[in-house]
Amino acid sequence: MQPIQIQSGKSHILYDADLPIHAEPALFEPAAWRRRGQLLGSAQGRGETAFVGDGIHEYVLRHYRRGGLPGRLVRDSYLWIGLENTRAWREWRLMAELYQRGLPVPRPVAARVEHDGLFYRADLVTLRIPAARSLAQALAEAALPVERWRAIGVCIRRFHDAGVDHADLNAHNILLTDAGVYLIDFDRGRLRMAGHWQRGNLARLLRSLRKLYNESLDIAFSDADWQVLLAGYGDGKSQ
């Protein structure tokens, strides 16, 4: 990876120069991709996510938005305390490090920060993982085999052993493919020494799975599945 940083007016862009992209504002705008007939789809979550493709790669475009009560008051503005402290810059740099370490994360493509006085807005572009679906989507379709639950536990352990504190580990931020398990969305994530936060990550994931189950009895999840995940997590240290 070759990170390059450029500035145009109030707009700052950080991108990987090893990828065939044009580091310009249109890269981050779903409307620009739509005009070229290259908008593939979209998804709604805490942020706004668009899926686009240029015929060579497919990308995920995410605009940072606040969640919960703050998001009702200030939708997408964050307090400016320096470029390196912006959410987009920190997430891009963390993902770049994890990707270069060989951990299963999407490759970061570009980040944009638009600075205006005391506040900023931000966007992030990553490579789309082919043929991936979230753990939540998979559970809505069918029960997972034991090997899958174990693989999820092993994957989480790999990140924890690397010191990666995922701030929002939930069933939507775990992706499954035929090739393996990936973690996504590292907003507010960080590298830390081992501690109680590791158990906190697992507890957050369990709450997410139980919430899905409580919201829909069609979700194929049981306490036995969780125990298999924990067994994989325990075995993951030797992977």
Q: Which residues are tagged catalytic?
A: 168
**Strands (E) located in 11-74:** 11-16, 39-44, 48-53, 58-63
Nearest alpha carbon to residue 98 among 122, 78, 123, 126: 126
Partners of 48 in the β-ladder: 44, 63
Alpha helices in the chain (DSSP H): 30-35, 68-73, 87-100, 135-141, 146-161, 197-215, 223-235
Alpha-carbon separation of residue 43 from 67, 104, 233, 237 (angstroms): 15, 22, 30, 34
Q: What span, in angstroms and rounded, lies between the C-alpha atoms of 157 and 232?
A: 8
